[in-house]
Chains A and B, each alone.
Chain A
Amino acid sequence: MLDFGLIQAHTLYLAQDATATAEASGGIDFYSFVNQLLNGIGIVGVLLLTGLGLAITFGVMRIINLAHGEFIMLGAYVTFLMQSAFQMDLLLTIPFAFLGTALVGAVTELTVIRRLYGRPLETLLATWGLSIVIQGVVKLIFSAQLKYVKSPPYISGNLLLMTRQDGTPLISISYYRLFIIAIALLMLGITLYLLYKTPLGRQVRAVAQNRDMAKCLGVNTSLIDLLTFAYGCGLAGIAGAVISSLKSVSPPMGQDYLVDAWMVVVTGGVDKLIGVLAGSFLIGESNAAIAYVLNDPVARVIVLAAVIVLIRYRPEGLFTVQKRA
């Protein structure tokens, strides 16, 4: 009953805002909604960062990697380890998080994934099992307690885009969220460059498109597979390191990001890397908007349902190049 009342109240505000736009007195809800859309950008940053690694391992390599969340978790733990052992700044731990998870990823590729290419069902089962194993091992080493990661003190506070007359913030976004977006875009840029502008990237794409032909042309496919998978895992590690100070660090933390990352990749489409950006933008913003009008759990259900409908009608995702069969 009460919930219903709240919904009505909000819809009413929105309806008002559409007509009476920037009235300083009655327009607080309008600003609040703008603020919320800006906040949505903050969600987009996290989604983009966590989805990027999966876009490599699934999008490029077609490996159904259910252990993706665990690689994010590993990145967060590398950051925790570096901080507690060497009092390192969070930014300095990012390369270590990348290398550490990439290493684990490489070992995984050599021991498990390599033996399962072309068999998605078994890969799915094996990576699912792997995710449980990684969680268990981390729990054995670090215990199940939540871990504390120190955020860099110089990235704190909010960027004020608009303030009220008395100086209180009206529209603002936190610097740390902006930092996450910046890192995410940077990593996307680097990945695009590597994939489309370097000889190595050309080989990666060649292997993805036609493994046998690439092999015939002298490409060392197994080395390319190893590097690509390790790179995808390393990206997940960076995501873990960067978000660790904004969220909670615990062994099951990866599960939360796994579903989101998959939604992003599936929505955006797997053929174009840029689809990840579109997918995370769509999901992040629609989540933010719906959550503002209704509430968080409902928004999650609606967005998830929308993604299911989308893949029913466009199984290739939104951004796909038409290929000849």
Chain B
Amino acid sequence: MVESRSPRIHFGSIGRRKFIKYGSLAIGAGVISACTRGGDTTTSAVTGSSGSAASGDAVKVGVMYSTTGTIAIVEKSLQDATFLAVEQINQGTGPWQGKQGVAGKQIEMVVVNPDSNWDLYNQMAKRLINEDQVSCVLGCYTSASRKSVLPVFEENDAILYYPVYYEGNECSSNVFYTGAAPNQQITDSIPYCYENFGPKGFFIGSDYIYPKESNRIAKAELEAQGGQVVGDEYAALGTTEFITIINKIKQAQPDFVLSNLVGDSIPAFYRQFKDAGITPDQIPIMAYPTTEEEIQAMGPEYAEGHYSSFNYFQTVDTPENKAFVEQFKAKFGDNRVTNGVMEAAYLQTFFMAQAMEQILEAGEEITTSTLREATRGQEFNAPQGKVKVDPDNYHTYLYSRIGRWQADGQAEIVFATPSAVKPIPWSQALYKGRLCVHPTPDDRSDPTQETGNELPVEYLES
């Protein structure tokens, strides 16, 4: 075939000049929109009422959440919670009542948007640390993004506050983990499923590191209980077609489904699950990443009777939570809901502020090592209850709760630990007796310790 039959590009009739004009216009439009889409930095000092704080007198903090791209839905809410906390710290409202800023200094946020792109997280982290010279960074949501920035923080010896429940099996001197470790989410929910629903579990998740690792731990826990794994299926990140997986669930007839789906996939899965005629009485879903946010988006009628395991639900009955929900709605609108990840993003900002305050009041400079030592052991009356940064492993003492979703889109809490549980970063079902103890002061040596023994469940004294 010498001559193509497909439509030919006729340059002749258009003329070179016109071609260049329109061509560059089209390309330009693409480039401009691509640029505005991601990778933008805005420095915003939420200076509060006074507004007098010169940037030289402020503490610079990096805020790194994606507000565009596939993960933006969740990360935007984390950013909102962080903004609320910083505003309260700078203005002396909420939990920061009676103070203003950290020892008189305002917190100045350097906000970056990595566009849900793992490489951009890495670049943005470098930029925050080396160019903007921030004292620490609050950010990241997915494990993929955390893994992408971890080498940057370790190489430059900088600090990241990471607010998300994750798969564990990590213990860095440069990260404070304020979301749940496996033993604060998986270890309680699997025995709950085993006892209340039955021994057969079907595991599903999105196809990336967190759901796979999390399910690996959960499967090991279930088998340790004497249960049986009857299915293990993954769907590409962002998939909204679940007809095949649901058919496999129908075929396997499990006693419960354990879901580690994230993002856009969650509403689609619950809707199609109900649409396929499966009721929560027959097969209940126990989920980790499903929060009030997703329940609201899918419509509560699709989630009613299913379960989630989290440290925090909007229905937690504490005065701190009541205030938090009120303040959040006042700032961001009455139709918004709060959720567990947001709460972690909120509370970790206070851990950071308390540590900074302590350093400044002692007359020292905020550096990575002073901030690290000051953050260890910080306590805070968070919306979920009293929490504490574990001085040994830099994870956080958190409550473990299980909620049953109700018709109004809120959770009825059916299980809760009496107080916050001590975090164990290494999954004990997979690495029995492995501990993480950072030395004091932290010289960044390997914190891993093997005891070989079963680790006891410890609670925070309230």
Contact = CB atoms under 8 A, between A and B. Distances in A.
Interface of A: 2, 6, 28-29, 32, 35-36, 39-40, 42-43, 46, 62, 115-116, 118-123, 125-126, 128-130, 132-133, 136, 139, 143-151, 156-158, 169, 172, 174, 176-177, 245-253, 255-256, 288, 291-292, 295-297, 299-300, 315, 323, 325
Given A245-B271, A246-B268, A172 B9 contact: no
A120 B250 CA distance: 46
Interface stretch (B21-29, B139-147, B321-329): B21-29
Nearest to A300: B236
Contacts of A291: 244
B30 interface: yes
Interface stretch (B45-53, B81-89, B272-280, B396-404): B272-280
B68 interface: yes
Interface stretch (B156-164, B171-179, B294-302, B419-427): B294-302
Contact of A297 (B3, B234, B272): B234
Contact of A157 (B23, B37, B69, B277): B277
B69 A158 contact: no
6 contacts: A43-B243, A118-B7, A119-B19, A120-B9, A146-B296, A292-B248
A46 B275 CA distance: 15
A323 B26 contact: no
B271 A247 contact: yes
A217 B243 CA distance: 50
Contacts, number: 168
Given A39-B244, A120-B9, A121-B9, A174 B275 contact: yes
A28 B68 CA distance: 45
Contacts of B232: 2, 6
B267 A248 contact: yes
Nearest to B72: A144
B265 interface: yes
A119 to B, nearest CB: 6
Nearest to B11: A119
A256 B264 CA distance: 11
Contacts of B243: 39-40, 42-43, 177, 288
B299 A126 contact: no
Interface residues of B, number: 60
Contacts of A133: 29, 33
Interface of B is mostly: helix
B445 interface: no
A148 B271 contact: no
A314 B152 CA distance: 48
A288 B69 CA distance: 28
B226 to A, nearest CB: 19
Contacts of A39: 243-244, 247
A245 B29 CA distance: 33
Which one of B27, B69, B233, B244 has the greatest number of beta carbons of chain A within 10 Å?
A: B244
A32 B250 contact: yes
Given A2-B232, A146-B294, A147-B297, A125 B271 contact: no
Contact of B298 (A145, A148, A295): A148
Interface in B233-284: 233-236, 238-241, 243-245, 247-248, 250-251, 264-268, 271-272, 275-277
B247 A176 contact: no
A90 to B, nearest CB: 12
Contacts of B299: 148-150
Of the listed residues A2, A35, A248, the one surrounded by the most CB atoms of chain B closer than 10 A to its CB is A248
A40 B77 CA distance: 36
Given A36-B247, A39-B247, A119-B9, A250 B239 contact: no
Contacts of B23: 119, 122
A252 B30 CA distance: 17
B276 A126 contact: no
B213 interface: no
Contact of A174 (B10, B244, B276): B276
